Each structure stands twice: as C-alpha cells, then as structure tokens.
Amino acid sequence: MSYPNDSTYFCNRECEYFPCHELEGEYFNCLFCYCPLYALGRDCGGNYSYTAQGIKDCSACRLPHKKGGYAFVQSRIVELIRQVAKKDETQSARQEKEGEVL
C-alpha cells in the first residue's frame, strides 16, 4: 500500500538515512524529520531518554514517523506555542519595567 504525499505526510525513500528508525509496514512519515517537540524537553510526550551528559535522546521514539504522528505533533505543538508566548510576555514585561527600548 502506498500513501499519497500531502500536507500531513511525505516519505523520502531516497534519503541517505532512510529508514532512520525501524517501523513495521509501509507507512513512514518524514514530515517531522526533526521533531518540533524537542524544544518541549520532558513535556514532549514522546519516548525520550537523557544521556549521562544531559542531552535528550529521541532515538527510541517513533511518534513523528508513525500513523497518528501528525495529529500527535499538532496536539502538542500548541503547548510549545503557549510556552513561547508566555516567555515572550515575561521578557517584554521585564524590559518594559527596566525601561529597555526594543
């Protein structure tokens, strides 16, 4: 079975790293090759671990590539947007208080 390339899915079987993860079946979504949820740290909802040096390791996570991954990333990216907006708000308030000109 093949899957049509669209705004929620594409698969680049010509990639020099394909398949970067082992998945059963034909479905393999390359859309989130670099997972946008990485920035959420421990809140991403994926199957991560941390190395002894404190680096987040996503090598065991299949979420962005498997069926349902697109919807999962979309559902969690709202949290990332919320956190960035909150950080921006806090930074703007601090700069305003300190009289900084942007």
Q: How far apart are CA 102 and CA 99, in angstroms?
A: 9
Cβ distance to ligand SF4 smaller for residue 47 or 91 = 47
- Specify which residues 50 forms β-bridges with: 56
- Rounded (to 5) percent helix, strand, coil in the chain: 35, 5, 60
CB of 98 to ligand SF4, least distance (A): 34
Q: Report yes or no: 48 and 62 within 8 Å, Cβ to Cβ.
A: no
Task: Examine residue 30 and tell whether it contacts ligand SF4 (CB under 6 A).
Answer: no
Task: Report how many residues bind ligand SF4 under the rule CB under 6 A.
Answer: 12
Q: How far apart are CA 93 and CA 71, in angstroms?
A: 34
Per CB under 6 A, contacts with ligand SF4 among 36-55 are 37-38, 44-48
Phi, psi of 89 (to 5 degrees): -60, -45
Contact window for ligand SF4 (CB under 6 A) among 5-13, 20-28, 31-39, 85-93: 31-39
Cβ distance to ligand SF4 smaller for residue 33 or 85 = 33
CB of 59 to ligand SF4, least distance (A): 9
Pair of tokens at residue 10: 């594409």
Binding site for ligand SF4 (CB under 6 A): 35, 37-38, 44-48, 58, 61, 63-64
